[in-house]
Structures are given as C-alpha cells and as structure tokens.
Amino acid sequence: MILSCKNIKKSFGIDEILTNVTFHLNQYDKVALVGINGAGKTTLFRIITKELTADEGRITLYQNASLGYLSQEQDLVSAHSIYEECETVFEDVIKTETQLREIESRMNELNGEALEQLMLTYSELQHQFESMNGYGYKSQITGVLKGLGFTVEELGKAINTLSGGQKSRVCLAKLLLRQPEVLLLDEPTNHLDIEAVTWLEEYLRNYKGTLLIISHDRYFLDKIVSKVIEIENKKSEVYSGNYSFYAKQKAINRDIQYKHYLEQQRDIKQQEAVIAKLRSFSREKSIKRAKSREKALDKVELLEKPTHINDEMRLVFQPKKVSGNDVLFAENLSKSYDHQLFDNVDLDIKRGDKIALIGANGIGKTTLFKIIMKHVPVDTGQITYGSRVQIGYYDQEHDSLSEDKTIFEELSDTYPKMTNGEIRNTLAAFLFTGEDVFKSILSLSGGEKGRVSLSKIMLSEANFLLMDEPTNHLDITSREVLENALSQYEGTLFFISHDRYFINKVATKVFELTPEKLIAYLGNYNDYVEKKEQLQKLKEKEVSLESISETSDSKQDWLKRKEYQAQTRKLQNLLESCEKDIHALEEAITSIDEALCLEENYTDPDKAGELHSNKIQQESLLEEKYLKWEEIQEKISELDN
C-alpha cells in the first residue's frame, strides 16, 4: 500500500461535497477516479495534495513517497523557453555536470596526491551522474516534449508567449520527467491531439509508479487503468477492472440495488398494513402484537433508493426536412495563413453519413468547418451544397453565444416563437432549472456553455450538423447521452473530436486531414487504426524488400519483390473497386427506399412490388460484395504474414 484515504469528509459552508470516501492504492496501481461533474473528484485531489484540509478522515502517504499533481488549471509563469523550463527538473543533474566540467579543467593543474584525491572525487561524481541519467536526460526531455505534440522548432519558444493549452502540456511534461512515485492527473488529455494522447497512453502504461487519473476520455482509461474508484452521492465505491468493466458492473449493481429497495419497500408496506389492521381491532392482545411489529420494523436498516443520475440531459436531434442524397461536395480545397494548413482536400458527404474529422492540432480542422459555414474564405477550390440542406453548427469556442445575455434570453431571442414555458422545458432538459435560467452566459462554465449550445442546435432541427469538439467539458454521463442522441439522428453528421470512444460509438466514416490531402476510411476509430496498421505493414514490407534488392544482386530477390508489389497493388485496387461498388449499392437501396415512400408508388401494387423485388436483388448483390470485401481483406492479411 502506498496511499490510503479513510472516511474523508469535506463541506464548503452548508454544501456537503464528500461524506464517506475510503479507498487505498497499492504500489504500481493504475486507477481512474470517476463521477459526474461536481461530484468532488478535484476536491479529493486537492485534499490528497494538502491544498485543502479534510473536515474529517485521514490521508496517509506511505514510505514518504513522492507525490506529483497535474491540475486542470495551469498558470505557468517563467522567463524560460519550453526546453529550458523542462531542464529545471534536472537541476541536480546539471549541477553535477557542471562540477564534473570544473574538475576536468583543474586536472591539468594538479599532480601527486592532490590529483589522486581529485580523481577519486571525479569518479564518485561521474558514477552519481550516470545513475541520475546524466548522459540521457537531454534526449529524454526532447522525447517527452515531442510525444506531447511540440515540434523541435517550438522548443525554443518563451513560456510567456504560450497559450493556456501549451502551458498545460509543458506542466505535464515536467511532471512526467520528474517521475514521482504517486502521480495524480486531472484531465491530462485536455489540449492533446489523438497522436499525443496515444503517446501518453503508452507512456503511462509503462510508468514505474502509481497513477490516479481523473479523465472523461473513456478510451484512454480503458487502455491504462485496472481499477476504478467512483464518487457518487458523496461516497466512494471501488471496482476492479477498466472503465468498460466498471460501466457494465455499475449498471448491474444499480439494478440489483433497486430490486432490493423495491422488495424492502413492499415488505414495509405489508407490515404497516398488518400493524394498522391489528390496531383497528382495539383489543389488548392485538395492540401488543402491533407494538411488537412496530419495534421490529423500527430496527430494520432502511435501504437508500438508488439515485439514477440526476444530471442526465434529455437530448433528441430531429431534422425538420430531409435533405437530398448529396449533402456536400468539395474539390481541391486549400487554405494558408502564415503557413500552409491543408491542400488538395476533396469531400463527398452523403445523407446519413456520420463522419469524424481527425488530424493533428493546428492542421486546420476548425478552419475547414468555418470554410464550409462560409465564415472563412477558401484559397482554392469550390464547395457545392446539396438540395434542402440546412446546417446546424456547434462551435467549440461557443462564439455564437452572446455573453451579455442570460441563458433564457439566448434561447428566446434565437427562437422568438417559443413560449416561456417551452423555453423553460427545453432548458430543464439541459439541466437548467429555477433561477439557473437567468444566469448570464458570461458567468457560465465551459460545460454549461456547451449545454446551452446543444440546446440551440437541437431546436434548429437542422439536417446537416457540423460539430466541433462537442464532448469538450461534458462529463461521461452527458457524453453518453450525446452519443445515443447522435447515433439515432436521421440527418447527416460531420464532427471534429479527439474522443476516440465517442468516435467509435458514433462514426461510420473517419476522415484524416493532413497537410497534403484528406484521406477517407470506412468504419469507426478502431477500423481506422486497423487500416492504418495494415497500410504501415505494407509500407514497411515494401521498404524492406527494396532494401534487399539494393544490397543483393540476386535476381530471385528482385523477382520476389516485384511479385509482392504486383499482388499488393492488385489487391488494393480490388479492395477500392469493391468499396466503390458497396457504396453504389447502398445508394441504390436508399433511392429505392425513398421511392417506396412516395404515394404514387406505395398505392400502386405493381410499382411497389417491382421496387421491392429490385430492393431484394440489390441487397443480395450488396451481401455478395461484403463477402468479397472480407475475402480481399483476408488475402491482404495473408500476404502481410
């Protein structure tokens, strides 16, 4: 055991935050701390780090273990560059290195016993320097900073010129370089793109210490943790397993608890009815029996009613009109500011698509959305919008919200035909009740602004949603509600997100934006990763075979490489052709479904029968194409092996 929390209680005024939090962490444990926004997770972290004092209970850090804490809010003030700031972690190493250089410069000045004594000191210091990773700390700094998304060119940037997100990444880098024995991380994936988060996952999985992590990134938690501590109703409960296991087990536990609660309530009502009946007899014996039953009932330990999450949004996206099958088509889009963001971007978005747009931070994803919205001009290329397309835009910065208005005014001014009651009902569905509706937009947290923006986009009844980081600032429960709503949405969705769990649940396609082009992948995030790995293996194999041909004059090696490349190209062409056929058949089936909905067709038995027969034929062909696609994938896998 390295850290224990026992019966922790904390209140702010009359507001109880934590009433009975008890758990312990063993050495090398990797643990998630979860709970709804406001459950007290960050408060508990601040108690563990002694920034706050618990009202009751005890925190014990065993063996004088070193403790590191990354808070959500970082106000790093420094005159250093990024690299220099990270060097401060290694002050002792640098001091030792300076001493070694000084001794080296003095060696030529001494001889005899004095030199021997100096050499002994030098040997001891050199051994100490090696044990402190003196020869590797510089590359360690560069590796961590690059892993967290900084380029080599950015390492010389002054801290005081950085954004808040960049400063948070520097603080995280310093903490990882310091390597405390117990590491508390509060939303460490904020401000990281997917590539950096993936790097951080691998780093933390191999971390030689104990981790306690607050994060809304469920994919991230699944990759790292083997235990989950939940804070709910001011108390803690511990689950063994990753986040997905916790979510399933919690649902099972809640059902069992609710069943026991209902059974006890039924028994209590039965006993109360018997007691009332006995008293109604007004006889001494019956009254004694009634009192005896009352005493027994008073001794029963009442079960608390399991509280279903009380901050669950009620969210439904429903388009008012159905758009045409072609929603948006773009060719050769490019955009530059002081440098090239992206070039040669083509888009072909169909009705019903649910597309995740991913790419490195700063690549221009938000800019691409603003170009689609006509908020920013494009340098080259053109965009064609489909018929009856009505766009709803969720902006991660919430610039569409007027900070001088109240929440109520924001909705009433945007939708003037809504009654006061309708506005209040809508806001209640987004957890704004009572006097909360009169809060100013300026005073709201990021999560609250997100909920206001979601309420507006829901009321818009748009059939094409552009959503830029819609899960930012939302707790896990709200993210799950949003996932369900968007999964059931019958319109078209194009969204930017770093939340891979969210992408897996919602996306049917993944578009990766690079400086040179946009690459489309069928499926969700896991499918994207699998396809990328396949392509990487093919690339590595080609490079390997080319290397063999360069170092060997063997005609057999050369022929083998050529044969492999030919087979690879053939299979890739077949795969692309098959995917195009699948797409065409899916469109054909969609068109038939639309035709079947027309009155002129469904009222005509002959036409309806012909369309239905055609649909069955197309679906049969589609099934054959799916099987063909799987066969080609298997052949590619066999070729790789």
**Burial (0-12, 13-18, 19+ Cβ within 10 Å), 247:** middle
CA dist., res. 80 & res. 87, Å (int): 10
Q: What is the dihedral of CA 501, 505, 507, 509, to 10 degrees?
A: 80
Q: Can you tell me the mean pLDDT for 563-579?
A: 78
Q: How far is Cα 298 from Cα 302, in angstroms, rounded to an integer?
A: 9
Residue 615 has pLDDT above 90, yes or no: no
Tens-digit pLDDT profile for residues 107-137: 877 788 888 888 888 888 889 888 888 888 8
pLDDT band at 307 (very low <50, low <70, confident <90, very high): low
pLDDT tens digits along 58-91: 988 887 889 999 987 777 888 889 999 999 999 9
pLDDT (0 to 100) of residue 556: 60
> Is the model's pTM score more than 0.75?
no
* Bridge partner residues of 357 (DSSP): 496, 511
Separation between Cα atoms, residue 9 and residue 289, nearest integer Å: 42
Distance CA 618, CA 587 (A): 10
Model confidence pLDDT, tens digit, residues 177-225: 999 999 999 999 888 888 899 999 999 999 999 999 999 888 999 999 9
Res. 390 pLDDT band, cuts 50 70 90: very high
pLDDT 10s digits, 515-560: 888 999 999 999 998 888 888 777 776 665 555 555 554 556 555 6
Residue 394, strand partner residues: 467
DSSP state of 380: E
Q: How many CB atoms lie within 10 A of CB 387?
A: 10
Q: What pLDDT score was predicted for residue 194?
A: 86
What would the two tokens of residue 392 be? 């709803």
What is the model's pLDDT at position 550? 53
Mean pLDDT of 281-297: 82
In the prediction, which pLDDT does 393 show?
A: 92
pLDDT tens digits for 362-389? 889 999 999 999 999 999 999 999 999 9
Residue 397: C-alpha distances to residues 244, 350, 635 (Å): 30, 27, 46
What is the average pLDDT score of the chain?
Answer: 86
For the beta carbon of residue 469, count every other beta carbon within 10 angstroms: 20
The predicted pLDDT at position 460 comes to 87
Distance CA(525)–CA(509), nearest Å, equals: 8
Least confident of 21-30, 309-318, 461-470, 574-583: 309-318
Helix ranges (DSSP H) in 225-309:
243-280, 284-298
| pLDDT above 70 for 308 | no
Supply the pLDDT for residue 595.
80
Top-confidence residue, 454 or 431: 454
Residue whose C-alpha is closest to residue 145's, from 90, 206, 84, 94: 84
State pLDDT tens for residues 312-358: 667 888 898 999 999 999 999 999 988 888 999 999 999 999 999 99
pLDDT band at 300 (very low <50, low <70, confident <90, very high): confident
